[in-house]
Amino acid sequence: MGRRRQSVTIKHVAADAGVSLQTVSRVINNEPNVRPAMKAKVQASIDKLGYVPSIAARRMSGSRSYLILAINDRDRTIADWQARDGRDWVDQMLLGGMLTAAERGYRMIFELVDTHSDHVERELGAAIAALQPDGVIVTPPHSENPQITGFLAESGIPFARIGSTEEGPGIRMTMGDELLAGKATDHLIELGHTRIGFIAGPDEYSLAGWRVDGWREAMENAELDCEGLLEKGDFSFESGLPAARALLDRATPPTAIIASSDQMALATLDVAKERGLRVPQDLSIVSFDNTPVVRFCTPALTALDQPIARTAARAVELLIDLRNNGIPEAPVVVEGELIVRGSTARAPSERKN
């Protein structure tokens, strides 16, 4: 059996080129103040030996770690994983963030932090001390937790706040929640619906309020009444059940319902079936998120697609380029789209005419 080929390291490159490890590191990182002749010499050794720079080698210059840290809520993420019901927020974040980071010579590390813990600063501080990231991506509800954003700001670490438009440190980013809710409402209005119910998410998420604002504005623009058409859940299936029942118990129930999460939309679909309502003939349903599960229910749900992968990718780009471009003054909006499927149709009164 042949001997396993030894991996080429930065030390081999330095020895072949006859230079210091620091010089090789500066060439790898395109640092200034490296003479062209020296750069060419080191590059020749890199090419000759087939050396592929590791993050450890690139970090030797001391200016960057080439790591982006993304943090997500621990309890909600673990609950989603254990439920195994098709929610793919984390998958989409990794898809967009990790691939974009790799294209730029970085790596993205994913960590779970308990946003409600008294020890949140200690948890986050330990992760940052161990990884020394060049930037942090903060997701809801972390993105509006002053303990977390304040700690990052005091630590001098650049960060992107997804789902937050509040003034303050960090890059503010949204997925156009208000605009998307307006698109869904307009879609239903165009189908002739005049009583459009809305199931909102919890107050701890600003985006839940933005979605209500988008629905309300679209209704008002069409001179339609919102009174008695708003209920609240917490994004979970269980919370969607009483909310949908409350809307359908109205003296004049809605002919369409927009739910602020896929799980609450699925609950609405179940409530409709238990009451003998046909979807979409008797009741149209629109969902937020567009996770895989909504394509496989009956009927498949019309959904507002959250561009999680594109948003994570944009966050990585902004953090990497922050040194040169600075923090955008206005919130960065990565808007999703409305995916029309079988759960929406013309309002019942429209079909009878």
**Per-residue pLDDT for 5 more than 50?**
no
Q: Which two tokens stand for residue 265?
A: 């939309």
d(CA 256, CA 279): 10
Give percent above pLDDT 90 in the chain.
51
- At 353, is the pLDDT very low, low, confident or very high (cuts 50, 70, 90)? very low
pLDDT of residue 2: 42
What are the residue ranges spanned by the domains of the chain? Answer: 10-61, 67-175+308-320, 177-305+338-352
Burial of 227 per CB tally in 10 Å (0-12, 13-18, 19+)? exposed
CATH superfamily assigned to domain 177-305+338-352: Response regulator (3.40.50.2300)
Instruction: For the beta carbon of residue 226, count every other beta carbon within 10 angstroms.
Output: 17
At 194-243, the pLDDT tens digits run: 999 999 999 888 899 999 999 999 999 999 999 999 999 999 999 999 99
pTM: 0.78
Asked if 10-61 and 177-305+338-352 have one fold, the answer is no
Superfamily the domain 67-175+308-320 falls into: Response regulator (3.40.50.2300)
pLDDT score for 57: 53
55 — pLDDT class (breaks 50, 70, 90):
low
- What percent of the residues of the chain are helix, what percent strand, and what percent coil, each to the nearest 5? 50, 15, 35
* 3-class secondary structure, 352: helix
Note the pLDDT of residue 83.
79
Q: Is the pLDDT of residue 58 over 70?
A: no
Contact between residue 98 and residue 28 where contact means Cβ atoms under 8 Å apart:
no
Topology given in CATH for the domain delimited by 10-61? 434 Repressor (Amino-terminal Domain) (1.10.260)
Instruction: Flag whether pLDDT at 121 surpasses 90.
Output: no
pLDDT in tens, 240-285: 999 999 999 999 999 999 999 999 999 999 999 999 999 999 999 9
- Cβ 182 vs Cβ 218: under 8 Å: yes
Q: What is the pLDDT of residue 189?
A: 97
Q: Which strand (E) or helix (H) includes residue 215?
A: helix 206-221
Report the mean per-residue pLDDT for the chain.
Answer: 87
The 10 Å CB-count burial string (b at 16+, else e) for 275-300 is: eebebbeebbbbbbbbbebbeebebe
Query: pLDDT value at position 9?
Result: 80
- Tens digits of per-residue pLDDT, 60-73? 555 677 899 998 88
